[in-house]
Structure 1
């Protein structure tokens, strides 16, 4: 008699990982967080700008008679309850109306579009310089870990980060512009370059792109020469952070099992750093770029003032001196929006590169 056959167990299929749904959920959550972030920042800026009173009195007090001042305040609606002004301002922002500057009677949106490109261009130069300096020297410090070159580079990284941007800018100007006379002292270009940029049809406001469109090598060289010192002054700040971050992560990667296996096969240490530890060390760099954008935009205010780089930072200092809080409010809100959107983009890139970020 045959032995009773064993009951067949139902087949268990491995569960499919919902990688796509996890990514979508993560992106939706990050996108939804942008709205309250911008809302909170806008509210804080609005309230802080009202602490000193109404903007009309702050900007024009002492230059107008009491009756003229009161007439301007009433016409602008600044004598209404603060909550009414707040909701009206929020509604105007959603329609793209940031108000009109008090010192030069220009739409704030026009100021933002005119000078915003210059600030973004400066931040781009600084970020490129930070990558060029921070990543290679961070890998070099990891290669010579706990040796003299490593100690020297760590001190340099601390100096880069601790040195105020305006002081670094003045030192660079003194060395390369005054003593060596290699680079221009200030501005975004010579008078000829500025004129060419103003006459160019369909200009972007980003001189590097516009110079490439013109196709004149002399103008392109002039634009890059004027951008080098301000980009370097601002980029060194972030380069110090990148250097230490790359060093730490490369050293951590070099202690992984797969790196030890490669080392046991006779792979040289420099190749381990350059090939096996390089890419994993870049993932943390990508995740902190969003925070560095905020740092770069904050540093751009001092850098632009030092080098007379006419961007939003430079204009912000001018409007602060004029106590034009309507213009200041619009510029700060735009910078907050840029930081929030940039952080979202960086989060998306980080989630695509490293699946662990999504969960």
Structure 2
């Protein structure tokens, strides 16, 4: 039989050997997660490379029919697309290791495209994640508190609709209702043309309009930027809100069945108070573990959202490159996004490991 030595303050602290074992387990877990970044990126960039080469060489795809055959052949030779595929692949991997993700047909480095349009996508994803938290978590807690009632069923249907509705369709419906019918909010762009000119002319502009507008201290600019962000953020955020709602509901219900919650319930504590004081914190831990996956989903949804609302970010620019058949740019942007997603997932795993010890074992 195991016994515990008690002191006036309660059980003794864990022995040093046990603490050392716990610490080594944490660092082993983090090391494994860090090392997994590299095969993940390798698989993603290899897949992107092969998919882009299925259509043939990028020069012919983008400029075929626009240049005479001799000039086209010269461009293909200069770019090295007439060499064996394995040689192109090895050089492609080498350039990525050097941080070179290629250039567009017009000669613009992909890293410059990221710096120019990445701020807009980051801004939209941040607003969408805020919408997901504000909508998904409270409604998930509410659904758990009224579980197995008609309100719970309605909220579960709402979560399914949020997750299953295509982002572009949700965006079009939002534009139809709040822009065309009601006229409350703008239907496209990141800001009014006049405001965009002012924000882009600010010395040291970040490209994130919310930050740049706040730096000016002018409420008219801030209000204009926020109004343009509402509909795109809702369209993209509801996609993740549905996931959060169902996840929080499931975990809160599981927590409410714990013995210590039953003891509080037997003392007459109301169900809403049990959710608010006992169940919501444990239910938030799984949210952290899925944020990385949701960020990847948001980056994918950003392509359709930015195209629907003409939001000049990476997603919108990627769709423009697809239209112009600039597959080198598409390949570079997708590979760069793959790196960002892999690193983001690692950061989320680190945070989850420090918050929830169960993740490490």
TM range (shorter): over 0.9
Measured after TM superposition, the shift of residue 186 of structure 1 is 0.2
Task: Kindly indicate whether the alpha-carbon contact (under 8 Å) linking 2:101 and 2:336 is maintained by their aligned counterparts in 1.
Answer: no
How far apart in 2 are the matches of 1:14 and 1:27? 21
Q: Secondary structure at the match of 1:326?
A: helix
Q: What is the aligned partner in structure 1 of residue 318 from structure 2?
A: 316
Q: What is the aligned partner in structure 2 of residue 342 from structure 1?
A: 344
How far apart in 1 are the matches of 2:53 and 2:112? 23
Superposition CA RMSD, Å: 1.2
Q: What is the aligned partner in structure 1 of residue 23 from structure 2?
A: 20
Q: Deviations over 1:301-321 (max 9, x none)?
A: 100000000111111111111
How far apart in 2 are the matches of 1:355 and 1:96? 35
Determine if the alignment matches structure 1 residue 69 to structure 2 residue 72.
Answer: yes
Q: Deviations over 1:167-221 (max 9, x none)?
A: 0000000010011111001000011221122112222211111211222111111
Measured after TM superposition, the shift of residue 96 of structure 1 is 2.1
How far apart in 1 are the matches of 2:39 and 2:125? 25
Measured after TM superposition, the shift of residue 14 of structure 1 is 8.1
Q: Deviations over 1:98-138 (max 9, x none)?
A: 22211x33222111111111111111111100000000011
Q: What is the aligned partner in structure 2 of residue 167 from structure 1?
A: 169
Pick from 156, 165, 190 the counterpart of residue 188 of structure 1. 190
How far apart in 1 are the matches of 2:252 and 2:184? 36
Q: Deviations over 1:81-109 (max 9, x none)?
A: 1111111111112222222211x332221
Alignment of 1:1-359 (within 5 A): 15-17=17-19, 18-102=21-105, 104-359=106-361
Q: What TM-score results when the alignment is normalised by the length of structure 1?
A: 0.94
Unaligned runs of 5+ residues in structure 1 are 1-12
How far apart in 2 are the matches of 1:143 and 1:151? 12
How far apart in 2 are the matches of 1:15 and 1:68? 72
Task: Kindly indicate whether the alpha-carbon contact (under 8 Å) linking 2:101 and 2:335 is maintained by their aligned counterparts in 1.
Answer: no
How far apart in 2 are the matches of 1:46 and 1:269? 54
Task: Kindly indicate whether the alpha-carbon contact (under 8 Å) linking 2:37 and 2:342 is maintained by their aligned counterparts in 1.
Answer: yes
How far apart in 2 are the matches of 1:239 and 1:276? 22
How far apart in 2 are the matches of 1:260 and 1:51? 60
Q: Deviations over 1:263-297 (max 9, x none)?
A: 12222211100110000000111111111111111
Measured after TM superposition, the shift of residue 15 of structure 1 is 4.3
How far apart in 2 are the matches of 1:163 and 1:174? 16
Unaligned runs of 5+ residues in structure 2 are 1-14
Q: Secondary structure at the match of 1:16?
A: helix
Q: What TM-score results when the alignment is normalised by the length of structure 2?
A: 0.94
How many positions carry a matched residue from both structures? 346
How far apart in 1 are the matches of 2:88 and 2:16? 59
